[in-house]
Amino acid sequence: MWVYKNGKFNWSGDWSFGVESVKYTDTVGVPPEGRYDLAIKGHQWGGWQPFVSADCQQDHRQCFDIAPFKFLIFSAKATVNHQTFQVGFMSSGDTADGSAILVTPYCTGGEEPAIGEWQQCKIPLSSFKLTDTRILKFFIQDQTGLAANKWYFDAVGFTID
């Protein structure tokens, strides 16, 4: 189930925080496959935060059920040294659920990505220790601490294997 892949955003909207811009049809990042990637120009601790449905805020049935899936997957491209990301989930009513985690151990090589290189990340959903399998949104947040930064994502979604 793709949330975003190759320029196509499949969820209802984007409640990103601490960002200047989110471009869903970027080509500057030289996508790992296809024509487009997702480019984010952010401020310190900014993050991309897609949401499945604004109606999930009041109606739990409108949330996305991750129960059938085992992993959150995505590709990330670093633009600075020591760039890493944190991921977390929110349930209806903007309620934080589980633990936000640093993704580095779950990405290609288990190390911080090299500048300008795409890195595949595959995080077991069990790692988040969620108490509710119905989610409103998730975030992928820059952890460099820089006042301004840019980063790229592609092939963001949920999979069973």
- Using DSSP, how many helices (H) and how many strands (E) does the chain show? 0, 14
Are 69 and 159 contacting, i.e. CB atoms less than 8 angstroms apart? yes
Where do the domains of the chain lie? 2-159
* Residues in contact with 136: Cβ distance below 8 Å, sequence separation at least 6, in sequence order: 51, 52, 53, 56, 57, 63, 64, 90, 91, 92, 93, 94
**Mean of the per-residue pLDDT values of the chain:** 94
Q: What is the mean pLDDT of residues 1-10?
A: 96
Find the largest Cα–Cα distance for the chain: 42
SS3 content of the chain, % helix, strand, coil (to 5): 10, 50, 35
Q: Which CATH architecture has domain 2-159?
A: Sandwich (2.60)
Q: Which pTM was predicted? A: 0.94
- pLDDT 10s digits, 48-102: 999 999 998 888 889 999 999 999 999 999 899 888 899 999 998 888 999 999 9
- pLDDT 10s digits, 88-114: 999 988 889 999 999 999 998 887 777
